[in-house]
């Protein structure tokens, strides 16, 4: 039997919310992320990423990491290592809110 409500040891969720630069769309943001996606896939502890758009046009960028430490380390290095990425021009930098939190409980769909 699968324990569908097990805690995940040290897993973390990184959530960044922001608005796009004036006149740009979520499609523009996704297109500008090609090099960031490649970079993320090489980072220790990276598991997955989801990009969503709220009704007000705000973007939610959610990453799953195997630990808060790995997620925080990547966040601290991304501007230095990926400062040249076109994604930075697509984001209204004044609107960025970044947070990372340790997962306390996970419920998966029972199979």
Beta bridge partners of 68: none
Do 61 and 15 meet the contact criterion of CB atoms below 8 Å apart?
yes
For the chain, which domains are there? Answer: 12-102 (3.30.70.100)
Write down how long the chain is.
111
- Report d(CA 41, CA 12) in Å as an integer: 16
- Report d(CA 77, CA 54) in Å as an integer: 27
Q: Residue 10: pLDDT band by 50, 70, 90 thresholds? A: confident
**Is 74 exposed, middle or buried (CB count within 10 Å of its CB: 0-12, 13-18, 19+)?**
buried
Q: What does the pLDDT read at residue 111?
A: 78
pLDDT tens string 63-98 = 999 999 999 999 999 999 999 999 999 999 999 999
């Amino acid at each position: 039997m699968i324990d569908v409500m097990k805690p995940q040891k040290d897993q973390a969720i990184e959530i960044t919310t922001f608005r796009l630069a004036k006149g740009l769309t979520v499609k523009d943001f996704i297109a500008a992320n090609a090099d960031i996606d490649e970079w993320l896939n090489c980072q220790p502890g990276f598991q997955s990423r989801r990009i969503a758009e709220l009704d007000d046009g705000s973007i939610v960028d959610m990453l799953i990491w195997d630990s808060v430490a790995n997620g925080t380390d990547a966040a601290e290095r991304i501007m230095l290592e990926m400062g040249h990425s076109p994604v930075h021009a697509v984001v209204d930098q004044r609107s960025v809110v970044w947070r990372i939190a340790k997962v306390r409980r996970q419920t998966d769909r029972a199979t």
